[in-house]
Structure 1
Amino acid sequence: MPPSGLGPSASPAEDDCPLKKGSRQNYHGRGNFQTCPLPIGGDKSRNQTEVLPHTRWKTGREEDAKHLPLAVPLHNHVALFQTEELEPVKLNGIREEMRFLFRKTAEALKYLYDHHLNDFDWFYKADDDTYAILENLRYVLTPYDPEFPIGLGERAIVNGNKAMSYLQGGAGYVLSRGALKIYGNVTYHNNSLCPMNRQGGEDVLLGQCLTKSGILLGDTRDELGRHRFHQKPPVDYIQGIWQKWYPNTIIYTYGKGIDSISETAVSFHDLKDESHLYIIEYFIYRLQLFGVEGRFKGPEVAPLPPDHSAVPVEVLTRFLKPKVNESERK
């Protein structure tokens, strides 16, 4: 049975939805978040948007964290975002050190499984210095059934080995309810699939756990092969300048220039100066264009990405089923 709500706050009537009206004033200020009836995923009968974007875990980066009430929850419809004032979820027994980040992430996902599995369709995790555009995340998810076990983000590889793929942690990754269900039921409890005492890159280790558990890591590029999840700030892709290690870890190569960034981009990471968060916020949500209505021009459901091997067979079947022409019908 589908969930009837989105956690702490109830979904307002469609006429009261601030997104539908084009107003964002209800999202400015802490603790005043609402839900809107915007369907996503494979089930069009569900009239809620059920994405859990960020749950605030206790971290040592308070200087970054204080800007998150602007950067993330203003444009989502979920109230389960926690700041220091709202007492963040504390994962007992895990030390606040980078080398224990994998264990923190593993326990955080288990917490979501235990407490919120049936409250949401999708679960999004990203870093404190990441700007996420939740409207576009919902668009990326439109072809997929949340019950299918899949993880979506910027796909990367270890030492050029495509068999060892993972989702870049900084750019953020989203897990379906089906994926979280497998993780909580099987992966977390199976030391051969996912040893909890390992230290290393959180995203690399989690990627190994997910793939060993049969969870597909999907391609999130748009139909033209342009990336949507970005490990670096926009300027790095426009200039084509980044650290040497970065291009060698990405499965799908990058272009250079503004046209290499998808118009339906989801996230940008490594925004080390808080002003970068505000700059993106301004140009996406505050700047008005006189005489321009309805800037979104894409289809209602996002087209498939180029790599069909990273798309569920059920989705391929639905999108690519052969069309019968009128002469064949006769």
Structure 2
Amino acid sequence: MDREQHSGGTRGTELGRFLRACRARLAPEEVGLVAGGGRRRTPGLRREELATLAGISIDYYARLERGTETRPSPSVIDSLARALKLEEDERDHLRALAALAARSVPQPPSAPNRTVRPGVKLLLESLRPFPAHVFSRTGDVLAYNPGGLRLVAGLDDWPEEQRNIARYVFLHPGARVLFDDWDNQVRSCVNGLRALAGMEPDAPDLTQLVGELLLKSPEFARLWERYDVKGHTYGRKTFHHPEVGDLTLGYQTLQLQGSPANCMVVYYAEPGTPEHDALALLDLAADESEHAPRLPPNRQPIEKP
């Protein structure tokens, strides 16, 4: 993350950063303003334009962006959300940042919860042949059923402690081939991490992952600067899988009660469809691979004459 985040910043810094990013990506024409002649020095709306649209003074808005004003009223936040044309996820994030800025005593980052209860593991097994896995708040893969690991082709190339969905989509060479909508997939990963960073900018597990991706992936660094927090918790996704071919699956994200920072993602297909048959085949192949005998290093099976 950037230097200001590492140092902890001042109260309201994340609120100001989010407002600035949203303002920068909103064109004057989108809010009914006519762009004046000449080249604009900054992208998107100017501070005074947004302040006027939201019905607040320019000085007050400038203090919000600088982080020196940390107690905006709910009506001001709602006015800014309307002026910026924020979607529901973005509105919720703006409200959460305002509440965070208003706290007189900063809260320490919460410890990541990596525990997967036995009941959740049993549910993963009961969902077969539907692939399913449990993610931590930063996208670490904490648990899965056989198809859940096999669906993300090549993820098992990495040791368990390195298996993270954001790390996979940006750094694994097979990710661009596997995901038909790779661009949307990477944006979704960045958006989730960005939303978390707004609330806990100094969380060690988050700063370590983001620092690694900023260093290794220019694409991640570009998307990180956009400060987009729109989430995707259900829909359809197309895979180009090396074992079972092309398949389009529905998916649903489920928040785990008792472990609110962790979630389960389940992929599914209607019974009797080619996609359902492909999932059954993938589940069977994963199961067979898991129970196949392991050869010692540098040993090959003996061929029968």
Q: Tell me the TM-score normalized by structure 2.
A: 0.24
Larger gyration radius, structure 1 or structure 2:
2
Structure having the higher helix fraction is: 2
